[in-house]
Structure 1
Amino acid sequence: MIDDATLQRSRLFPGIRFGIHAGLQNTDPHDLQGAWRHIEALGFDWISVFDHLYSANGTGDTHCLESISMHTLLAATTRYVTCGSLVYVPSYRHPAILAKSMATIDLLSGGRVVMGLGAGWHRREFQSFGLAFLERRDRIRQLREAYDCIDALLNRRGESVTYEGKFFQLQDAHCTPAPAQQRLPIWIGGGGEQLTLRVAADSDGWNVPFVSPEVFARKKGILAGYCEEGNRSVDEIACSVNIGVAWSESDLLEQFGRNAEQISPAVLQGSTERMRDLIGSYIEAGADHINVAIRPRKGSGHQLDEFTRVAEMLELTPRRVVRG
């Protein structure tokens, strides 16, 4: 479904896909629709939602829209961009239900969905909503089972699926109707080098958020080793990174709260030249897909001009969008 022509939308960085990872906190569905239409017209290839029950900015704010609803709205609002999710948490929904949702959203979008899966980390969300926050090793095992269930349901077209795991079970389950895509891509999110990257080595794509180019390169090297163990090449896997953008120190703090200092090395800041240099460093480290994460500010939502500033920094070719 992805047109190769989209890979040339950046005049500065041809062959690299650029997207926007738009937060779901401090906003509303109508604000998001306006932002998504603007992002698509600017020439970005990808828009993704996250899967949180509270704001993921380290402030303790509880305002956040539900992700499957917004993923559906994203598919219905746009016509050209890939509609991604980074990343769904298996503990929040049974993987079979998640697979059914993704198949339906893919049909709605005309085959533009990429599904991301991750283990989950926001302890407060689990506790507030009565969900078991397992030890990290068990959450990764749960992720592995969820991946196996969802991949079978979405991508073994016409087959029934029976699965007997520790965390999830299926008995002659069918995902009908099937997705629009012959294979709906499933990405794994996270950077755990002992467990998560082993799951990612079986997937269609890997995403890691807010790490420096040096850390990204190291983790991709580890992923490549796991791929070799499975007799495949890491080049078969889309390798992506989420980075931030902040226009001032106060803006960085407003978007990312107490996480601001930790993620600062992975945030576009300062002059245009400095921002482009950081993008180039990620490309040299092996990223073929870069998402800029922009969080809506409390009381003001998404500001369209900042998407424009990022597109201009990347020298994206605007897209002529025809609305139905």
Structure 2
Amino acid sequence: MDIGVLLPTGTAQWGETDDPRELIGFGRRAERLGFSSLFVNDSLISPRVEALTMLAALAPTTDSVTLGTAALLPFLRRPVQAAQSLASIDLLSGGRLTVTVGAGFPGRFGQPLYTLSEVPWAGRFTRLDETVALWRALWDGATHFHGQILRLDDIPPMTRPFRAGGPPVWLGGATPSALARTGRLYDGWLPYPPDPADYASGVAAIRSAGADAGRSAEDITCALFVSVRIDDDAERGRREMDAYAQATYGMPLDQLEKIQAVVTGSAAQVRERLEEYAAAGARHIVTRLGALGLRSQRDQLERLAELLPALRKLTLTQKLTWS
């Protein structure tokens, strides 16, 4: 099991006196505590440190953690320039980049951003898949690309990533179409379903689609994005997570947990819930810490780190059993 953490790059998660440059130290502390990965999210809905800028800052200041996006919205960027930026981060990090991508959602979390980017909402999934295919082609040295939407000729030489073929690309989303496309085209899956049973059915659908495409289960990393708050006082923990949901999404916790994986409670309760997702097939858990202010974020980071040995032991036991 790999356990990662989402860096609080959005201003909604900062206190009045917080310095965003502290995020570098936050990431380094997470690495020293034993977390496997540092992820950042991507949006224009609220002010934040831009995702690829944050990863570029972390690349030379960390040593071994995976650096990832959860999730990058490729339509916000020109495809060729994005391929160059991603290859550069992979190069500077020594091959530690993982790129999760998404197409956005209907409503204020997606459609207005397409308008700002001067990209049509229609055909967004085809555009997303073609953009990833273009990136991979450029990382392999292609000089032209002809898709349904993206058609480019005479492409100059591009920066090559650290790893041959470029960084792994995961897909977010859990619709039947997303599951099928993950199985056929992507290196991993990073959804946030509230119910572990839905996660298990998604894993099964992805593996079925992958098998039909001649791929093995090992070709696709099944990951999970989950908001976590550890608190011995259950009522206080829910209050704090509710404040986080309101600040981040403008919605109360009871609405957020209907659409996203949210885990609150004591350390034992959080561990038990995460174990359910591990049993459902999750092999990389990206945790978003339900706390406002970098000091509270660091406190939650330290508390969650205490669970790392138990979660890793659980997965090893499962792997030995399943083999």
TM-score, length basis structure 1:
0.81
Structure-2 change in CA distance of 1:29 and 1:182 (3 Å): farther
Partner of 2:9: 24
Relative to its length, the structure with more helix (as a share) is 2
Partner of 1:146: 131
- For residue 26 of structure 2, give the secondary structure of its aligned residue in structure 1: helix
Structure-2 change in CA distance of 1:29 and 1:75 (3 Å): farther
Distance 1:83 1:254 in 2: 28
Distance 2:97 2:157 in 1: 16
Distance 2:114 2:138 in 1: 29
Partner of 2:285: 290
Partner of 1:10: none
Out of 199, 223, 228, which is 2:181 matched to? 199
Identity in percent: 28
| Aligned partner letter, 2:300 | E
- Structure 1's unaligned 5+ residue stretches are 1-15, 55-61, 318-324
Answering whether residue 85 of structure 2 is matched by residue 101 of structure 1, we say: yes
8 Å contact 1:296–1:302 — kept in the other structure?
yes
Structure-2 change in CA distance of 1:205 and 1:172 (3 Å): farther
Structure-2 change in CA distance of 1:125 and 1:42 (3 Å): farther
- For residue 225 of structure 2, give the secondary structure of its aligned residue in structure 1: strand
TM-score, length basis structure 2:
0.82
User: Could you say what the CA RMSD is over the residues aligned between the two structures, in angstroms?
Assistant: 2.3
Query: Which whole-Å deviations, capped at 9, do the CAs of 1:280-303 have from their partners, x for residues lacking one?
Result: 101110111111112662x65763
- For residue 278 of structure 2, give the secondary structure of its aligned residue in structure 1: helix
Distance 2:296 2:44 in 1: 19
What is the CA-CA distance between 1:17 and the residue it aligns to? Answer: 0.7
Answering whether residue 97 of structure 2 is matched by residue 118 of structure 1, we say: no
Distance 2:257 2:294 in 1: 23
Partner of 1:189: 172
What is the CA-CA distance between 1:141 and the residue it aligns to? Answer: 1.3
Aligned residues: 288
Structure-2 change in CA distance of 1:263 and 1:284 (3 Å): farther
What is the CA-CA distance between 1:278 and the residue it aligns to? Answer: 0.8
What is the CA-CA distance between 1:236 and the residue it aligns to? Answer: 1.6
Partner of 1:264: 257
Distance 2:175 2:295 in 1: 32
What is the CA-CA distance between 1:40 and the residue it aligns to? Answer: 0.7
Structure-2 change in CA distance of 1:109 and 1:148 (3 Å): same
8 Å contact 2:241–2:291 — kept in the other structure?
no
What is the CA-CA distance between 1:20 and the residue it aligns to? Answer: 0.5
8 Å contact 1:91–1:131 — kept in the other structure?
no
Structure-2 change in CA distance of 1:316 and 1:24 (3 Å): farther
Q: Relative contact order: is structure 1 or structure 2 higher (C-alpha 8 Å, sep ≥ 6)?
A: 1
Query: Which whole-Å deviations, capped at 9, do the CAs of 1:158-209 have from their partners, x for residues lacking one?
Result: x32422234322213255331111232111111121x222321222111112
Partner of 1:5: none
Partner of 1:84: 68
8 Å contact 2:69–2:98 — kept in the other structure?
yes
Structure-2 change in CA distance of 1:235 and 1:63 (3 Å): same
Partner of 1:58: none
8 Å contact 1:53–1:65 — kept in the other structure?
no
- Structure 2's unaligned 5+ residue stretches are 232-236, 312-323
